[in-house]
Amino acid sequence: MDSLTANRLAVLGSPIKHSRSPLVHRAAYRQLGLDWSYDAVEVKSGSLAMFLSKLEPEWRGLSLTMPLKQEVLPFIDDCDRVAQLTGSVNTVLLRRVKGRGTLSGFNTDVAGLVRALAESGVTQATHVTLLGAGATASSALMAAAELGAEFVTVLMRDARKAQPLVELGRTLGVVVDLQDFSGVSRVDSDVVISTLPGGTVLPSLLPLELRERAVLFDVAYSPWPSGVATSWQAAGGTVVNGLGMLLHQALIQVRVFVTADPFEPLSDEPSVLAAMRGALTRDTGFDDAVER
């Protein structure tokens, strides 16, 4: 990557037309005075290797969404600690080291989720419930650990697929309990994080007491409201949509693409975040991600 000429970025995934990542990234680069492009590119599962093989020198970085966060791992030369622990990469920085092109992987989902929850008033939790066991679930589990959770219940359909979450929980010092959606009768939890795609239909409604009392953070934002969010609202519960997570994880991605360091704040970062939030608000009409 030549820092002067590498000015092309994109979010990859499938489906991808609904993604608002281009909206918030473009707003950030305008605010920073950078003439960079950022597009949404449809890349289906099994097609990532071919896409990566055709990257030209003008490419600076990639954002990844489903189903590519784990598929990219064999192509990554080095990962940050969060990506290593979660086994999930949503950000790729292209650079040249000793004359050779390398791919550096990062996970900004965890920080984005923690920041979005804090913005919604959730800064700590003892018991967290996760819905789903896909690639984003590992990031949600790590976010739960950062909130101080001691217990995490994972509701899913495939216990074998969810087993890595149990191992990750041990590493993080969190007790992880796996339960099938169909067998849930009662769950005591402070926060519920849904990592399910927006169109997912659960086999049965989750317990009424849980929907009334626990805050639901739904990583989905399109289509909205999701089925899970609708059931929460019907019970009078509090729902936080995924736009906050999108915003904050994107800000960390911008740090990576601009400074190569997720911990290095941008120049006048509050103004950059405000520009990104403004673009998202104008597009979606959501002034507040919290719905009751």
Q: Within a domain: residue 157?
A: yes
Q: Are residues 72 and 35 in the same domain?
A: yes
Q: Within a domain: residue 213?
A: yes
Q: Within a domain: residue 180?
A: yes
Residue 202 lies in domain:
110-243
> What 8-state DSSP symbol labels residue 155?
E
Q: Are residues 128 and 180 in the same domain?
A: yes
Q: Within a domain: residue 22?
A: yes
The label of the residue with tokens 């093989």 reads: 53
Q: Within a domain: residue 29?
A: yes
Given 243, 260, 283, which residue is the final one in a domain?
A: 243
Q: Are residues 138 and 68 in the same domain?
A: no
Q: Could you list the pLDDT tens digit for every one of the 292 residues in the chain? A: 555 579 999 999 999 998 999 999 999 999 999 999 999 999 999 999 999 999 999 999 999 999 999 999 999 999 999 999 999 999 999 987 655 789 999 999 999 999 999 999 999 999 999 999 988 999 999 999 999 999 999 999 888 889 999 999 999 999 999 999 887 878 889 999 999 987 888 888 899 999 999 999 999 988 889 999 999 999 999 999 999 999 999 999 999 999 999 999 999 999 999 999 999 998 766 555 555 4
CA distances from 73 to 1, 23, 105, 249, 253 (A): 20, 26, 8, 19, 18
CATH number for the domain that contains residue 167: 3.40.50.720
Q: Within a domain: residue 1?
A: no
CA distance 126 to 212: 18
Q: Are residues 37 and 23 in the same domain?
A: yes
pTM, two decimal places: 0.93
The phi and psi torsions of 95 (rounded to 5 degrees) equal -150, 170
Q: Within a domain: residue 144?
A: yes
Q: Are residues 151 and 265 in the same domain?
A: no
Q: Are residues 178 and 215 in the same domain?
A: yes
**Number of domains into which the chain is organized:** 2
CATH number for the domain that contains residue 20: 3.40.50.10860
The residues annotated as belonging to the active site are 69
Q: Within a domain: residue 3?
A: no
